[in-house]
């Protein structure tokens, strides 16, 4: 490497340390470096363009992956994502997100894995291994404590040393040490007074203690200084081409404020990354075979089913016997339009998305499924879907005097360009983008047609001006708000059945990132009518499936949740449907915990997360017993909102006042609605003895006492009643999965790493093992421990 660097002057070297554009890094032929492309992550690989014509395989979201407790499966999915990266020319995936589920109010909860550092570390490491074995870099993010979104750019997370080490840094440590990721992303926020792009944790802990040898890149627009961040262990400023380094860094080096050796060090890391992903002359990256679409579908279908958590199943209602099903009512707001992924930068545009209605129709036949929408849960306008456009939309890219620079045909109403426009369109010459379309939903009644985005919009409907206005986000809005929660304006349009309206929507271009939507909302029937209809459909069916869930207004990036209650009148819908049909299954389509005040009053509840593009097929498989609902909760589902850690900073500071007592580790407080680790599956398990195995583990005997083969996740929790160190009442110390045929007895070894028993000693500045014995108990969840022993770790 040093000889390559010697070929470059200071300016050329510094240029490489800021992105070339929104997603890519600069090429430098003088050192044999080609362009390196990054992309989000983690539910798929978007690629450089946000465009429905270049779809991306959509995997279940991270909470679902953690719910599998299955590293082999997640590693395979990492391989699938790596193949997607290669197909889309991506070298660096901006995943996994391993911030912890400190509070279920966090907007990006769905994008993180678990409340538990051990589970997060193991599942995150598996994804990293799967990606990197195929020559694609993983980017472990966001280092550290970006555990909620409110004021994420500026908040100072105040975290005690033990909580920081034992919880928030722990999964980063496990993954860096165990899976050697090639990149880490520094978070927006500060921790204990240092903004993360300048934090001593980068130099002292990430590199110094753990030996991280990859690239530390900033989160997008997170770098705030020149000399301070360059003097820290930050290697790459994203995105580009502008930023606080560039010429300012060259000047800082010349003025002696930043040593040139610091620049060289960053560049060496960048070239190492280039070599690893095959972007440097002569480097041989690991090969990846493409995945045919049928294999992608099969893998995603199996993964979704493996993540579903059967929360309740009274009287073994599930699985349903398909021979006894002449008619099934599939109702609820997420029944026909399921959420397959969460919002924000994690969004990808899948080639298709199988809803629960689609999945059950495919399994049972069209005639066997009746559907009702239930209630309305969204208050914002949605982008026009392909089905709502009569033919494609025509986009015109306009220059001075409205000269048409280029046109393209698009099959949806969501558009985004991050500085790069279609061929022939020079960003500096672009003045406006115009969408011409004919829209209609087929339904009769009052629709809403509108626009979302920031800046000036002009909407004409059937040749008449509807509005010409500037839409502005609130002054303190997150920079991501233009994507995540843009301002909107809609106008009512009454259409007859089958009717449509001509739309011309013009948006003036004012900056490099252009993102907006053409919105169409179909007429809505009042909730009272829809609830009554859903109950009626349920009453006349052999079984009722109510699919409830969250929306993009609730779970996304750049804001947190205001409440954990299901949006709209969904709780009422559930109660009404369950009262109408005793064979009611509630399917919860959410990436994070929601309140379920009706849990004890419905026979069966299945939690499906954001299940990816095969969600509906996987749901049919599980409801009909073709597959096991394999998931176990990666996070405690609280019974209410009281006592949960807050995501609201006060005067710019977010106190992690609960310290090490998070999730299933919490002290006191109301019992969980569903404990961490919970998940019934379709068979029953009888636990026998647990014994220390003489090394760093225990052996647990158990028997599948149910009627089917199954997979059990044997969880081992530690506790220490008599020690001098303050500790959570119990914590996950290890886990292992085991499969067994019906009736079979099996033994499983659960490794309990020494770290599971150590605590961070603030005075020693090190992890320390308190001498003596710990209690360890194995069971089905943190709330269902079946056998116990004592163990003195070595
Ligand atoms: C998010 C990152 C993401 C980046 C690029 C940021 O706003 O926090 O997770 O990778 O944008 O899209």
Strands (E), 228-354: 309-313, 328-331
Residues 463-490 pLDDT 10s: 999 999 999 998 888 877 777 889 999 9
d(CA 356, CA 377): 17
Tell me, in angstroms, the distance from the centre of ligand 1 to residue 468's CA: 32
Longest CA–CA separation in the chain, Å: 81
Is the pLDDT assigned to residue 417 strictly greater than 80? yes
CA distance 142 to 164: 14
Q: List, for residues 551-580, the tens digit of each pLDDT value.
A: 988 999 999 999 999 999 999 999 999 999
Average pLDDT over residues 415-420: 91
User: What would the two tokens of residue 752 be?
Assistant: 């309990």
Tokens of 65: 């992956």
pLDDT digits (tens, 9 = 90+) for 732-748: 999 999 999 999 999 99
Residue 219 Cβ < 6 Å to ligand 1:
yes
Protein residue with least CA distance to atom 5, ligand 1 = 220
Nearest-CA neighbor of 331 among 525, 530, 527, 522? Answer: 530
Q: Whose CA is nearest to atom 4 of ligand 1?
A: 220
**pLDDT tens column, 656-709:** 999 999 999 999 877 899 999 999 999 999 999 999 998 899 999 999 999 999
CB of 220 sitting under 6 A from ligand 1: yes
The DSSP result for 746-790, as a single string, is: EEEEEE--GGGGEEEETTTTEEEEPSS-EEEEEEEETTEEEEEEE
pLDDT tens track for 293-319: 999 999 999 999 999 999 999 999 999
- Among 15, 115, 127, smallest CA distance to 81 is for 127
> What is the per-residue pLDDT for 353?
97
Per-residue pLDDT for 1 more than 90?
A: no
Write b or e for each residue in 306-341: b if 16 or more Cβ atoms lie within 10 A of its Cβ, otherwise e: bbbbbbbbeeebbbbeeeebeebbbbbbbbbbbbbb
Alpha carbon distance 538, 369 (integer Å): 11
Q: What is the CA radius of gyration of the chain?
A: 27
Task: Please name the residues in contact with 431: beta carbons below 8 A apart, sequence gap of 6 or more.
Answer: 398, 399, 400, 402, 508, 509
Residues 112, 609 contacting (CB under 8 angstroms): no
Q: How confident is the model at residue 284 (pLDDT cuts 50, 70, 90)?
A: confident
Q: Helix axis angle, 260-277 relative to 246-254, nearest 10°?
A: 140
| pLDDT exceeds 80 at position 351 | yes
Strands of 414-418's sheet, edge to edge?
Answer: 414-418, 513-521, 445-453, 488-495
Cα–Cα distance between 574 and 534 in angstroms, integer?
A: 10
pLDDT-based confidence at residue 111 (cuts at 50, 70, 90):
very high
Instruction: Provide the 8-state DSSP code for 26.
Output: P
CA of residue 71 to ligand 1 center, whole Å: 25
Q: Note the pLDDT of residue 306.
A: 98
For residues 690 and 672, the answer to whether their CB atoms sit within 8 Å is: no
Choose the residue to mutate in 94, 152, 197 for probing ligand 1, maximizing ligand atoms within 8 Å of C-beta. Answer: 94
Q: Which residue has a Cα nearest atom 11 of ligand 1?
A: 220
Q: Output the pLDDT for position 475.
A: 83
State residue 743's pLDDT score.
Answer: 97
Distances (CA, A) of 215 to 21, 86, 618: 18, 20, 38
Residues 210, 173: Cα–Cα separation, whole Å: 7
Six token digits for residue 353:
């998305």
Sorting pLDDT into bands at 50, 70 and 90, what band is 253?
Answer: very high
For residue 142, the ligand 1 atom closest to its alpha carbon is 9
Q: Which atom of ligand 1 is nearest to the CA of 239?
A: 5
Indicate which residue's Cα is closest to atom 7 of ligand 1: 220
Mutate to test the pocket of ligand 1, among 220, 236, 480, 515 (most ligand atoms within 8 A of CB): 220
SS (HEC) of 559-571 = CCCCCCCCCCCHH
Looking at residue 6, its pLDDT comes to: 84
- Token digits for 696? 């760093």
46 lines ligand 1 (CB under 6 A): no
* Mean pLDDT of the residues in the chain: 96
**DSSP output for 350-403:** -S----HHHHHHHHH-GGGEEEE-------SPPBPPGGGBSS-EEEEEE-GGG-
- From the number of C-beta atoms within 10 Å of its C-beta (0-12, 13-18, 19+), residue 547 rates as buried
Q: Which residues contact 464 (CB under 8 A, 6 or more apart)?
A: none
Q: What is the dihedral of CA 195, 198, 200, 206, to 10 degrees?
A: 100
Please tell me the distance from the alpha carbon of residue 119 to that of residue 734, in angstroms, as a whole number: 9
The DSSP symbol for 56 reads -
What gap in Å lies between CA 91 and CA 82, rounded to an integer? 9
The separation between the first and the last C-alpha atoms of the chain, rounded to the nearest angstrom, is 43
220 C-alpha to center of ligand 1: Å?
Answer: 6
Average pLDDT over every residue of 626-633: 98
Beta strands in 645-704 (DSSP E): 653-655, 685-692, 697-704
Residues tagged active-site: 219
Q: Tell me the per-residue pLDDT of 133-146, one tens digit each, with 9 for 90 and over.
A: 999 999 999 999 99
Please state the rounded mean pLDDT for residues 179-200: 98
99 lines ligand 1 (CB under 6 A): no
Distance 500 CA to ligand 1 centre (A): 38
H or E segment to which residue 194 belongs: strand 194-195
DSSP3 helix / strand / coil % (the chain, rounded to 5): 25, 25, 45
CB 461 within 8 A of CB 491: yes
Task: Quickly list H helices, 466-614.
Answer: 481-484, 527-539, 570-580
Q: CA neighbours within 13 Å on the CB side: how many for 77?
A: 38
For 295, the enclosing helix (H) or strand (E) is: helix 293-307
Phi, psi of 186 (to 5 degrees): -80, 135
Q: Which pLDDT score is estimated for 179?
A: 98
Residue 94 Cβ < 6 Å to ligand 1: yes
Ligand 1 atom closest to the CA of 40, numbered from 1: 10
pLDDT digits (tens, 9 = 90+) for 56-76: 999 999 999 999 999 999 999
Minimum-distance ligand 1 atom for the alpha carbon of 41 = 10
Per-residue pLDDT, 4: 81
> Residue 481 has what pLDDT?
73
Q: In terms of DSSP H, where are the helices of 555-662?
A: 570-580, 615-623
Q: Is the pTM of this model over 0.95?
A: yes
- DSSP labels for 78-120? HHHHHHHHHHTT-SEE---B----S-TT-TTGGGS--S-HHHH
Distance (Å, rounded) from C-alpha 144 to C-alpha 196?
7
What integer pLDDT is reported at residue 211 of this predicted model?
Answer: 98
Tell me the C-alpha distance between 587 and 365, whole Å: 20
Segment 352-368 shows an average pLDDT of 97
**Measuring from atom 3 of ligand 1, which residue has the nearest CA?**
345
Q: Are strands 584-589 and 604-607 parallel, antiparallel or unpaired?
A: parallel
Q: How many CB atoms lie within 10 A of CB 601?
A: 12
**Ligand 1 centre distance from Cα of residue 493 (Å):** 37
Q: Is the distance from the beta carbon of residue 48 to the nearest atom of ligand 1 less than 6 Å?
A: no
pLDDT score at 695: 87
Task: Return the top range by mean pLDDT from 1-5, 35-39, 415-419.
Answer: 35-39
Other beta carbons within 10 angstroms of residue 254's beta carbon come to 11
Among 19, 40, 106, 559, name the best residue to mutate to test ligand 1's pocket (greatest count of ligand atoms within 8 A of Cβ). 40
Atom of ligand 1 nearest to the CA of 146: 8
Nearest CA to ligand 1 atom 6: 220
The residue to which tokens 């472990």 are assigned:
140
């Amino acid at each position: 490497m040093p000889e390559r660097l010697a070929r470059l002057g200071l300016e050329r070297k510094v240029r490489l340390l800021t992105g070339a554009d929104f997603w890519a890094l600069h090429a430098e032929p003088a050192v044999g470096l080609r362009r390196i492309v990054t992309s989000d992550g983690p539910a798929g690989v978007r690629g450089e363009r946000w465009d429905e014509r270049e779809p991306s395989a959509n995997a279940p979201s991270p909470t679902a992956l953690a719910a599998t407790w299955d590293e082999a499966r997640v590693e395979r999915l990492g391989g699938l994502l790596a193949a997607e990266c290669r197909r889309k020319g991506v070298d660096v995936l901006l995943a996994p997100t391993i911030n912890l589920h400190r509070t279920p109010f966090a907007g990006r909860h769905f994008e993180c894995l678990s409340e538990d550092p051990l589970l997060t570390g193991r599942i995150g490491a598996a994804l990293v291994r799967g990606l990197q074995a195929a020559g694609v870099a993983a980017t472990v993010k966001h280092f550290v404590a970006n555990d909620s979104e409110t004021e994420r750019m500026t908040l100072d997370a105040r975290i005690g040393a033990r909580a920081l080490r034992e919880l928030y840094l722990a999964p980063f440590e496990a993954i860096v040490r165990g899976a050697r990721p090639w990149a880490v992303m520094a978070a927006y926020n500060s921790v204990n007074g240092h903004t993360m792009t300048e934090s001593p944790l980068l130099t002292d802990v990430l590199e110094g203690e753990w030996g991280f040898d990859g690239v530390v890149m900033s989160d997008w627009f997170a770098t705030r200084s020149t000399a301070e961040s360059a003097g820290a262990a930050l290697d790459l400023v994203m995105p580009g081409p502008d930023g606080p380094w560039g010429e300012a860094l060259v000047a800082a080096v010349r003025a002696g404020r930043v040593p040139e050796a610091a620049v060289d060090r960053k560049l060496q890391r960048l070239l190492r990354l280039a070599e690893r992903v095959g972007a440097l002359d002569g480097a041989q990256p690991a090969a990846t075979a493409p995945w045919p679409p049928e294999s992608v579908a099969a893998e995603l279908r199996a993964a979704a089913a493996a993540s579903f958590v059967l929360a309740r199943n009274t009287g073994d209602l599930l699985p349903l016997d398909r021979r006894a099903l002449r008619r099934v009512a599939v109702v609820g707001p997420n029944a026909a339009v399921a959420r397959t992924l969460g919002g924000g930068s994690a969004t990808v545009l899948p080639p298709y998305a199988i809803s629960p209605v689609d999945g059950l129709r495919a399994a049972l036949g069209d005639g066997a499924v009746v559907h009702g929408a239930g209630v309305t849960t969204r208050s914002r306008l949605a982008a026009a879907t392909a089905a709502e456009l009569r033919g494609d939309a025509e986009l015109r890219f306009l220059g001075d005097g409205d000269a048409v620079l280029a046109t393209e045909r698009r099959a949806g109403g969501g558009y985004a360009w991050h500085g790069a426009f279609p061929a022939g369109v020079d960003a500096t010459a672009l003045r406006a983008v115009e969408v011409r379309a004919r829209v209609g939903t087929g339904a009769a009644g009052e629709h809403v047609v509108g626009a979302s985005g920031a800046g000036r919009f002009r909407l004409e409907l059937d040749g008449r001006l509807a509005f010409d206005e500037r839409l502005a986000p609130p002054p303190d809005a997150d920079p991501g708000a233009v994507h995540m929660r843009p301002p909107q304006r809609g106008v009512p349009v009454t259409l007859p059945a089958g009717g449509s309206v001509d739309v011309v929507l013009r948006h003036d271009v004012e900056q490099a990132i252009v993102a907006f939507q053409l919105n169409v909302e179909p007429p809505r029937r009042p909730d009272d009518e829809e609830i009554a209809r859903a109950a009626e459909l349920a009453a006349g069916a052999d079984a009722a499936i109510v699919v409830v869930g969250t929306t993009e207004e609730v779970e996304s990036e750049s804001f947190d949740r205001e409440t954990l209650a299901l949006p709209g009148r969904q709780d009422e819908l559930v109660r009404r449907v369950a009262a109408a049909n005793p064979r009611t299954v509630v399917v919860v389509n959410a990436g994070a915990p929601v309140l379920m005040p009706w849990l004890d009053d419905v026979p069966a509840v299945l939690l499906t997360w954001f299940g990816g593009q095969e969600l509906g097929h996987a749901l049919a498989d599980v409801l009909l017993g073709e597959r096991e609902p394999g998931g176990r909760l990666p996070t405690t589902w609280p019974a209410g909102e009281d006592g949960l850690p807050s995501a609201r900073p006060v005067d710019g500071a977010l106190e992690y006042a609960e310290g090490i007592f998070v999730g299933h580790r919490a002290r006191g407080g109301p019992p969980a609605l569903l404990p961490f680790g919970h998940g019934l599956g379709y068979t029953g398990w009888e636990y026998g003895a647990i014994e220390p195995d003489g090394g760093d583990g225990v052996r647990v005997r158990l028997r599948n006492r149910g009627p089917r083969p199954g997979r059990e996740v044997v969880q081992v929790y530690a506790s220490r009643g008599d020690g001098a160190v303050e500790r959570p009442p119990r914590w996950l110390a290890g886990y292992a999965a085991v499969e067994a045929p019906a009736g079979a007895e099996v033994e499983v070894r659960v490794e309990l790493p020494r770290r599971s028993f150590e605590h961070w000693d603030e005075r020693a500045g090190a992890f320390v093992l308190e001498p003596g014995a710990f209690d360890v108990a194995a069971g089905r969840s943190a709330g269902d421990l079946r056998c116990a022993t004592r163990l003195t770790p070595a």
